[in-house]
Amino acid sequence: MPEPRVVVLCGGSPRHVYVANRLCRSLDVAAIVQEVGRRITPAKLAALARPEVAARKIGRWLRDRRRYAGNREAKFFFGNGEARLDRQELLHRAEYINDPEVAETVRRLQPDVVAVFGTSLIRPPLLGQGRLGMLNLHGGLSPDYRGADCTFWALYNGEPQHVGCTLHFINAGIDTGALIAHVCPEVRDGDDELGLFWRAVRDSAEVYVEAIERLARGEALGQRQDRKGRLYQVKERTWAAEREFARRLPGGVVRGVSLPPRLTWFTVPAEQPAARSKEPLHA
């Protein structure tokens, strides 16, 4: 059978570029749409005028600048090489993933699958495109870890076994679509939050390819989530939470834990129709 035709929607971080490159190496990728900015709207400007919002955003920027110092993420995924897309000829840059031009590009290409990782919330008319559906890679194990900073919260909660990524279909909620796979990385003594998160993403890139190939073969993947679990929001990761995290994990590293890589596939139960949603996605 012919290879599935794929359009990739991604962010610009090294981890997003790595996953896009992995998809390109094995699949018929027709285009890569990379979201390179966030549109400044009157609502966002009004929010930034509030001192508590501005303080939270500045604090997060300072914290992330320190954590990502030394180009750590690029080195993890690309070693000494450049963090760049292999297929530059496929690249379309968009300030905002929901620009009408993006939706028109995807519609014109008529992909079998739209593969998403690291973009803003997707809305109509982009929403729902792809003959077999839209898939998203989320950096936590849904339903118990939805939203932001899920590796942080799994470690904070003393659950390193719940560090991982979810590959899922799209629905109207935030990381609540039908599950395709849970990808849990190896966890070793001395691992830290970012290293575990990046390892989960690297492992998930392989699973992403396999999932699209299996869907194209007609395999019934996708189980509805049986509960809503917990949605973690960006604003919950406060300085107080950071201090408590440091108390629970001195030095920010896991101690005395040894877990192998784990992969769980979710097939459609016989009584459940195959999942393919055209509803909004948190990417």
Looking up tokens 């009004």 gives 46
**Per-residue confidence at 268, pLDDT binned at 50, 70, 90?**
confident
Mean pLDDT within 260-265:
98
Residue spans of alpha helices (H) in the chain: 14-26, 42-48, 51-67, 72-78, 100-109, 150-156, 193-216, 239-248
How far apart, in whole angstroms, are the C-alpha atoms of residue 11 and residue 36? Answer: 7
Percent of residues, the chain, with pLDDT higher than 90 = 74
- Strands (E) across 153-275 are located at 165-169, 179-184, 231-232, 262-265
pLDDT of residue 41: 63
Whether the pLDDT of residue 49 is over 80: the answer is no
Q: Where are the domains of the chain?
A: 5-39+86-265
91 phi and psi angles, rounded to 5 deg? -80, 130
Task: Work out the average pLDDT over 157-175.
Answer: 91
Q: Is the pLDDT of residue 55 over 70?
A: no
Q: Which residues pair with 29 in a beta bridge?
A: 6
pLDDT of residue 124: 87
* CATH 3.10.20.600 assigned to 5-39+86-265: no
pLDDT band at 39 (very low <50, low <70, confident <90, very high): low
Mean pLDDT for the chain overall: 89
SS3 (DSSP) at 259? strand
User: How confident is residue 174, by pLDDT bands cut at 50, 70 and 90?
Assistant: confident
The burial of 185, by beta-carbon neighbours within 10 Å (0-12 exposed, 13-18 middle, 19 or more buried), is given as buried
> For the chain, how far is it from start to end, CA to CA, in angstroms?
30
Answer with the residue of higher pLDDT: 123 or 39: 123
User: Strand 179-184's sheet: what is its strand order?
Assistant: 91-94, 28-35, 5-10, 113-117, 133-138, 165-169, 179-184, 262-265
Q: What integer pLDDT is reported at residue 130 of this predicted model?
A: 93
| Token pair 């359009």: residue | 7
pLDDT tens for each residue of 99-158? 999 999 999 999 999 999 999 888 889 988 999 999 999 999 999 999 999 999 999 999
If one compares 167 and 129, the residue with the highest pLDDT of the two is 167
Q: Give the pLDDT score at 278.
A: 37
Tens digits of residue pLDDT in 67-92: 666 689 999 999 999 999 999 999 99
